[in-house]
C-alpha cells in the first residue's frame, strides 16, 4: 500500500545548497580525501570560555526547565542593553522575542506576516532561506537583482520600481550573506526615504553586524529611520558574533503586536529556546569583548588572505567585502572552459569541479540567485585558506 502524499508545499522549495555541498564533502572525507571546506558559514573558534562557563553554571544551578516562550527577562534586558549600545535605540522588553536561532526568528516572521499572493522583495544575491520561507507561506518572492559594479547593494530607484500593490515586505541583510557587502549610513538613508513612502514591512537581518572590517561603520535602520519603527524588524543573534552556532540563540526586535504574534506562533512550535543557552547568551552580551575583538581581527586577516589569493588566479575576480566572513568570487570567465574534456556549463559545474579536482568545497552562486559566482567562507584557519587557494589555482590552471 502506498503512503499518503506529503504536503504539496514541499515541491516548491529545495534543499539547502550549502548543506548539500557539505554533505558531499563529508562523503569524500569519509573516503579519506583531505577536503578543504569553504562552504559552511560557521566560525572555527570555540565559544569563549566565560560563555561556556555560564552555560555550565546554569545547568548546575537548575536552569533546565521551561521559561517564558520569548525568553527569560535577564536575556531580554541584555538584548535591550546591547541594542542601545550599538544602535542608540533601547527597545522595550515587549518588542523582543528570543528564538532557536535567527533562522527560527525569520520563520516565525514569515508565518506571522506572509499570505498567499503576497509579494516579498528579496534582493539577490540572497541567503538561501529568504525566498523559500516566503514560498512555504504561499507568498511570492520578488527577486530584486543587484550588481557587482554597485557593490551588490539595492539602489533607491530599483527598490522604488520593485514595490507594487501586492508587496508585503522587504527582506534586507547587512552585512550580507553571501556577498559580505554592507550598507553605509548614506545608502540606508536613501533606502529609508523610499520605504517611508510605502506601507510595507521592513525586515533587516543584522546577524553579521559586528563583523565588519577596515573601519567600516555599521549602521542600522533602527537608528536612522524612526518613521519606520512601527513596521521595522531587526533580526540578530549570538551564533556568528560569539561563535555560538550550536547554542541556537537568535532574536527579533519588532513592534510589540508583531512580537506578541511571533511569541504565540513559537508557543505552538518550540516554546522557549534551550534554557542553558539563554543564560550563556546573557554572558555573551554582557561580558568582556576581548574574545570578540580578537576574532574580528583574525577574520580581517583571513579576509585579505582569501580575497588576495582569489584575485591572483586567472579567470577569478573578487570584490573586497565590508563585513561577514564570505568572499563572493566571480567565476564567469571559467564557465565554458573544459575540464578533462567536460565543459563547465555554469557555476554549479565550477563548484563541482573544485570539489572533485581541488578537494575544495565552495557553494555555487546560483544557490543565492547569482549565476556565475561562488561563495567561499573564510571562517577557517589561515593555513586552510592558503592550502585551498593553492589547490584552486592548480586546478584552474588545468582548464582549457
Q: Is 50-286 CATH 3.40.640.10?
A: yes
Biggest CA-to-CA distance, the chain: 64
CATH 3.90.1150.10 residue window(s) in the chain: 8-46+291-396
Q: Which of 162, 178, 234, 152 is nearest to 41 (CA)?
A: 178
| C-alpha span between 290 and 277 (Å, rounded) | 21
The answer on pLDDT for 22 being more than 80 is no
| C-alpha span between 11 and 22 (Å, rounded) | 23
The answer on pLDDT for 198 being more than 80 is yes
Summarised one tens digit per residue, pLDDT across range 282-299 is 999 999 999 999 999 999
192-226 burial: b if 16+ Cβ within 10 Å, else e: bebbeeeebbbbbbbbbbbbbbeeeebbbbbebbe
Residue 145 β-bridge partners? 124
The dihedral sign for the CA sequence 110, 114, 116, 120? negative
CATH 3.40.640.10 residue window(s) in the chain: 50-286
49-84 burial: b if 16+ Cβ within 10 Å, else e: eebeebbeebeeeebeeebebbbbeebbebbbebbe
CA of residue 73 relative to chain centroid, distance: 27
Are 373 and 329 spatial neighbours (Cβ–Cβ below 8 Å)? yes
Q: Would you state the pLDDT for residue 11?
A: 86
Q: Would you state the pLDDT for residue 4?
A: 93
The answer on pLDDT for 383 being more than 70 is yes
Are 238 and 207 spatial neighbours (Cβ–Cβ below 8 Å)? no
pTM value is 0.96
The answer on pLDDT for 2 being more than 90 is no
CA atoms within 13 A on the CB side of 42: 14
Task: Report the pLDDT averaged over residues 375-390.
Answer: 98
Q: Which of 244, 217, 219, 270 is nearest to 104 (CA)?
A: 270
CA of residue 302 relative to chain centroid, distance: 19
Q: Please enumerate, as own/partner, the contacts of 59-68 that have beta carbons within 8 Å and a separation of 24 or more.
A: 59/276, 63/275, 63/276, 63/278, 63/279, 64/275, 64/276, 65/275, 66/271, 66/272, 66/275, 67/272, 67/275, 67/278, 68/272
Are 118 and 168 spatial neighbours (Cβ–Cβ below 8 Å)? yes
Torsion angle of alpha carbons 379, 385, 387, 390, nearest 10°?
A: 140
Q: Per the structure block, which three cell numbers stand in for 222?
A: 533602527
Q: Per the structure block, which three cell numbers stand in for 49?
A: 570560555
Q: Would you state the pLDDT for residue 17?
A: 65
| C-alpha span between 375 and 40 (Å, rounded) | 10
The answer on pLDDT for 317 being more than 70 is yes
| C-alpha span between 122 and 127 (Å, rounded) | 9
The answer on pLDDT for 15 being more than 70 is yes
The answer on pLDDT for 107 being more than 90 is yes
Angle between helices 382-396 and 290-311 (to 10 degrees): 10
Q: Would you state the pLDDT for residue 18?
A: 66
The answer on pLDDT for 238 being more than 70 is yes
Task: Report the pLDDT averaged over residues 387-399.
Answer: 98
| C-alpha span between 397 and 237 (Å, rounded) | 41
CA of residue 19 relative to chain centroid, distance: 14
The answer on pLDDT for 34 being more than 70 is yes
**Region of residue 30 (left: phi > 0; alpha: psi -120 to 50; beta: else):** alpha
Task: Report the pLDDT averaged over residues 91-113.
Answer: 98
Bridge pairing between strands 338-339 and 342-343: antiparallel
CA atoms within 13 A on the CB side of 270: 19
Instruction: Name the residue with higher pLDDT: 343 or 17.
Output: 343
Q: Would you state the pLDDT for residue 20?
A: 72
Share of the chain above pLDDT 70, in %: 99
| C-alpha span between 48 and 242 (Å, rounded) | 7
| C-alpha span between 259 and 108 (Å, rounded) | 10
Of 9-23, 26-40, 61-75, 122-136, give the lowest mean pLDDT range: 9-23
Q: Would you state the pLDDT for residue 205?
A: 98
The phi, psi pair for 131, rounded to 5°, reads: -70, -35
CATH topology of domain 8-46+291-396: 3.90.1150
The answer on pLDDT for 164 being more than 90 is yes
The answer on pLDDT for 200 being more than 80 is yes
What integer best gives the mean pLDDT of the chain? 96
Q: Would you state the pLDDT for residue 217?
A: 97
pLDDT band at 1 (very low <50, low <70, confident <90, very high): low
Amino acid at each position: 500500500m502506498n503512503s499518503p502524499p506529503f504536503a504539496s508545499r514541499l515541491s516548491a522549495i529545495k534543499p539547502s545548497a550549502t548543506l548539500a555541498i557539505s554533505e558531499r564533502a563529508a562523503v569524500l572525507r569519509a573516503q579519506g580525501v583531505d577536503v578543504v571546506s569553504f562552504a559552511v558559514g560557521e566560525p572555527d573558534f570555540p565559544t569563549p570560555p566565560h560563555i561556556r562557563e555560564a552555560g555550565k553554571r546554569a545547568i548546575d544551578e537548575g536552569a533546565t526547565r521551561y521559561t517564558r516562550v520569548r525568553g527569560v527577562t535577564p536575556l531580554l534586558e541584555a538584548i535591550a542593553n546591547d541594542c542601545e549600545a550599538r544602535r542608540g535605540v533601547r527597545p522595550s522588553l515587549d518588542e523582543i522575542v528570543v528564538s532557536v536561532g535567527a533562522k527560527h526568528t525569520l520563520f516565525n516572521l514569515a508565518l506571522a506576516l506572509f499570505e498567499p499572493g503576497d509579494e516579498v522583495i528579496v534582493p539577490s544575491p540572497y541567503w538561501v532561506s529568504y525566498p523559500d520561507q516566503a514560498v512555504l507561506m504561499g507568498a511570492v518572492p520578488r527577486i530584486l537583482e543587484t550588481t557587482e559594479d554597485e557593490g551588490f547593494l539595492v539602489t533607491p530607484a530599483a527598490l522604488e520600481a520593485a514595490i507594487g500593490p501586492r508587496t508585503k515586505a522587504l527582506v534586507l541583510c547587512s552585512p550580507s550573506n553571501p556577498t559580505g557587502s554592507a550598507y553605509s549610513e548614506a545608502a540606508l538613508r536613501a533606502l529609508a526615504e523610499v520605504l517611508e513612502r510605502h506601507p510595507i514591512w521592513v525586515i533587516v537581518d543584522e546577524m553579521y553586524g559586528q563583523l565588519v572590517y577596515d573601519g567600516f561603520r555599521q549602521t542600522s535602520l533602527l537608528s536612522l529611520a524612526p518613521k519606520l519603527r512601527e513596521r521595522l524588524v531587526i533580526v540578530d543573534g549570538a551564533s556568528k558574533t560569539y561563535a555560538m552556532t550550536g547554542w541556537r540563540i537568535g532574536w527579533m526586535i519588532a513592534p510589540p503586536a508583531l512580537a506578541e504574534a511571533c511569541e504565540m506562533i513559537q508557543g505552538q512550535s518550540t516554546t522557549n529556546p534551550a534554557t542553558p543557552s539563554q543564560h550563556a547568551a546573557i554572558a555573551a552580551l554582557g561580558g568582556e569583548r576581548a574574545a570578540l575583538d580578537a576574532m574580528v581581527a583574525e577574520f580581517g586577516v583571513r579576509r585579505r588572505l582569501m580575497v588576495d589569493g582569489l584575485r591572483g588566479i586567472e579567470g577569478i575576480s573578487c570584490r573586497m567585502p565590508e563585513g561577514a566572513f564570505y568572499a563572493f568570487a566571480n567565476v564567469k570567465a571559467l564557465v565554458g572552459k573544459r575540464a578533462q574534456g567536460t565543459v563547465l556549463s555554469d557555476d554549479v559545474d565550477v563548484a563541482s569541479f573544485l570539489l572533485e579536482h581541488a578537494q575544495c568545497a565552495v557553494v555555487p552562486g546560483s544557490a543565492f540567485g547569482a549565476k556565475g559566482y561562488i561563495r567561499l567562507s573564510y571562517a577557517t584557519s589561515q593555513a586552510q585558506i592558503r592550502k585551498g587557494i593553492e589547490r584552486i589555482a592548480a586546478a584552474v590552471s588545468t582548464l582549457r
